[in-house]
Amino acid sequence: MPHRPPVKIAPSILAADFAAFGAECRAVEDQGADWVHVDVMDGHFVPNITFGPQMCAALRPHIRGVMDVHLMVAPVDPFIEAFAKAGADIITVHLEAGPHIHRTLQAIRAKGKKAGLAINPGTDIDAVPYLLDQLDLICVMTVNPGFGGQQFIESQIDKVRSLREMIADRPIHLQIDGGVTVDNAASLVAAGADVLVAGSSVFKGGSVTNPAPYGANIRALRAAAGG
């Protein structure tokens, strides 16, 4: 078994208190989060709207570690610069967001940011081999994007396994996004994932004024993942 980096837990603030985002980012990092996953939705690529680059810029000072920005936006090219300026460390775009994904990934790297590719449940991975040299992260969507708290789509586990094989020993993170819980964390890591995004399973039971459950939930996920 090739050496794997320790599993990273990336809470998604889509499940946080929208009226207290800065405090929620600080709280979830204090409670052990490795990255903060920031879900940007445009109401066009996905049937929901969250926030834009200004919100990301406002969150930046409240995130000590990695700001992992997931752009559920199409067209996405016009917004790469704004999210790079907002302070994103990783900018993940959807394979389905436009006709020139290779150029989009180049544009992210040209801004000095890490480039991520998100793949919806119904999308094949046959384009990935042609993009590997432009990638720092691949995000497997294990729910249909747009909402938190959805049911995990089991069929995606095979996709995770195939992508891990494709990545081989390249320095590319394999991230899982959607419906991650203590019940599926172990099989996801066994299939090759090294970053687990989790919204509802991290933020459940806690609040900015009572963040301890965040820490307990993160520790439970990490333990279930074998981390």
If you write DSSP's letter for every residue of 198-215 in order, what string do you get?
ESHHHHTT--SSS-HHHH
H-helix or E-strand spanning residue 220: helix 212-224
DSSP 182: T
Asked if 63 contacts 86 with a C-beta cutoff of 8 angstroms, the reply is: no
Verify binding: residue 205, ligand DX5, rule CB under 6 A: no
50 lies in the binding site for ligand DX5 (CB under 6 A): no
Start-to-end Cα distance in the chain? 16
* CB of 146 or CB of 192, closer to Zn ion: 146
177 scored as a contact of Zn ion (CB under 5 A): yes
**Residue count at the site for Zn ion (CB under 5 A)?**
3
Nearest to 225 by CA among 7, 34, 1, 4: 7
Q: For residue 158, give the H/E element and its range.
A: helix 156-167
68 is catalytic: no
Among 53, 148, 206, 211, binds ligand DX5 (CB under 6 A): 148
Out of ligand DX5, Zn ion, none, what residue 200 binds, judged by CB under 5 to 8 A for its kind, is ligand DX5
Does 29 bind Zn ion (CB under 5 A)? Our answer is no
Q: Active site includes 177?
A: yes
Give me the residues that bind ligand DX5 (CB under 6 A), please: 12, 14-15, 37, 39, 70, 72, 143, 145-146, 148-150, 177-180, 197-201
Indicate which residues carry an active-site annotation. 39, 177
